[in-house]
Amino acid sequence: MSKILLLEDDTNLNETVTEFLEDEGYEVVSVYDGEEAQEKLYENRYDLLLLDINVPGLNGLELLKESRAQGVVAPAIYITSMDSVEDLEEGFKSGCDDYIRKPFALKELKIRIETLLKRGFYQQRKERIMITGDIAYDISNNELIIKDKSVSMGNKEATLLKLFVKNEGRVLAHELIFDHLWGYDEEPSDSALRTYIKNLRKLIGKDRIVSIKKQGYKFITEK
């Protein structure tokens, strides 16, 4: 049974969605504000996150951005009344996988959930990503393995490597990396990022992280 975290401050909508999904066979943990959702994310693992954006306290965007920085990889769908391109762009930058606009049909929500869970299922089957012939990344444990031995990393390096692995072959802009690597109470630093990149290159090889001038970095595995 897939476990879903639902964040929705509208009582009627929260209860309607919860009842519908439970009838469809899902386990639903429903909350009404961002802080409570954050606590639930610290306490439990979820297969999918269903997040309203405009909620009391910590909004859905901030919640997901912080959760992604902490290593939460569960697919996320935003429930939103926002409809501008800028809002959509901000949503995907914060780490969401899909969104559904209010008002919506429950059947459409079910289809979107099933699509993301199916994608996540196949991704989870592959628990290790081979970076080179003797270097692997364990997805489930967020662990770097070199010659069958676990290698410890600093928190920033571990978070950065997970971000790279999830986006293999994509150019990640400096701003996106900053958003994932530094919290709201921290000051991003170009020099610090270069240090973390250098530390990772020492572990996995300098050719695995490619610097793209004036754009960012791209992570590639050994073919």
Q: Report the pLDDT value the prediction gives residue 22, as an integer from 0 to 100.
A: 95
Whole-number Å distance between alpha carbons of 63 and 94: 9
CA diameter of the chain:
54
pLDDT tens for each residue of 76-108: 999 988 765 566 677 677 788 888 989 999 999
Task: For the chain, count helices (H), then strands (E).
Answer: 8, 12
pLDDT tens for each residue of 166-205: 788 888 989 889 888 887 678 888 999 999 999 999 999 9
pLDDT tens for each residue of 146-175: 998 989 888 899 889 988 987 888 889 898
Asked whether residue 136 carries a pLDDT value surpassing 80, the answer given is yes
- From 4, 156, 162, 150, select the one nearest 95 (Cα to Cα): 162
pLDDT tens for each residue of 54-83: 999 899 999 998 888 777 888 999 998 876
| Structure confidence at residue 223 as a pLDDT band (50, 70, 90) | low
Q: Report CA Rg, the chain.
A: 18
Q: Report the pLDDT value the prediction gives residue 30, as an integer from 0 to 100.
A: 97
Asked whether residue 121 carries a pLDDT value surpassing 50, the answer given is no
| Structure confidence at residue 120 as a pLDDT band (50, 70, 90) | low
| Structure confidence at residue 127 as a pLDDT band (50, 70, 90) | low
Give the per-residue SS3 of the chain: CCEEEEECCCHHHHHHHHHHHHHCCCEEEEECCHHHHHHHHHHCCCCEEEEECCCCCCCHHHHHHHHHHCCCCCCEEEEECCCCHHHHHHHHHCCCCEEEECCCCHHHHHHHHHHHHHHHHHHHHCCEEEEECCEEEECCCCEEEECCEEECCCHHHHHHHHHHHHCCCCEEEHHHHHHHHCCCCCCCCHHHHHHHHHHHHHHHCHHHEEEECCCEEEECCCC
